[in-house]
């Protein structure tokens, strides 16, 4: 009976804390979130923004433990409002190496003006905007 009560308590705490729920740009109300759907092959991701046609390398992201980004994992890029306002398109540079060596870049995806945030999916076909507001 004690084990059942303990298990129920742990399950309740997980539900209350929202553990495991990915935070998207919509949840934050700003920036860009990218949901990985690549079979867990990449360890290094860099956001590349385009401001009025000019390429602007931005945040680099790796998992703290050096592991690969798994399917369903969401990466949130904290793009500030001033930067986001000037962003006309974005792309990702991805690498199977944690240092970014041998990276390849996706084709840029155009972003409509006046958006506060965007959520994209990255898979073998490239980068696709799923939602933007």
**Residue 97 in domain:** yes
CB atoms within 10 A of CB 26: 16
The tokens for 83 are 């930067």
**Residue 62 in domain:** yes
The pLDDT score that the predictor gives to residue 105 is 94
pLDDT at position 50 over 90: yes
| Residues contacting 39, CB < 8 A, separation 6+ | 71, 124
* Beta pairing class for 74-77 and 117-123: unpaired
**Domain containing residue 72:** 25-132
Looking at the whole model, is its pTM more than 0.85?
no
Q: Specify the number of domains making up the chain.
A: 1
Residue with tokens 């740009």: 25
**Residue 92 in domain:** yes
Closest CA to 46 of 13, 93, 91, 7: 93
**Residue 74 in domain:** yes
Helix, strand, or coil (residue 79): coil
The pLDDT score that the predictor gives to residue 22 is 66
pLDDT in tens, 63-102: 999 999 999 999 999 988 888 888 889 999 999 999 999 9
What distance in Å separates the CA atoms of residue 53 and residue 24, rounded to the nearest whole number? 26
The pLDDT score that the predictor gives to residue 73 is 95
Closest CA to 61 of 76, 45, 74: 45
pLDDT in tens, 14-48: 333 334 556 999 999 989 999 999 988 999 999 99
pLDDT in tens, 2-13: 444 434 444 333
Give the domain CATH number at 100: 2.60.40
**Residue 68 in domain:** yes
């Amino acid at each position: 009976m004690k084990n059942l009560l303990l298990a129920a308590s742990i399950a309740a705490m997980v539900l209350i804390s929202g553990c495991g729920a990915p935070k998207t740009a919509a949840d934050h109300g700003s920036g860009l979130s990218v949901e990985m759907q690549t079979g867990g092959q990449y360890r290094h991701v860099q956001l590349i923004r385009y401001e009025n046609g000019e390429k602007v390398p931005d945040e680099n992201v790796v998992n703290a433990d050096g592991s690969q980004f798994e399917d369903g994992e969401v990466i949130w890029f904290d793009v500030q409002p001033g930067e986001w306002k000037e962003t006309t398109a974005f792309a990702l540079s991805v690498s199977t190496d944690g240092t970014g060596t041998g990276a390849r870049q996706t084709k840029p995806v155009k972003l409509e003006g006046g958006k506060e945030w965007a959520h994209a999916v990255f898979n073998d076909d490239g980068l696709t905007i799923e939602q933007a507001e």
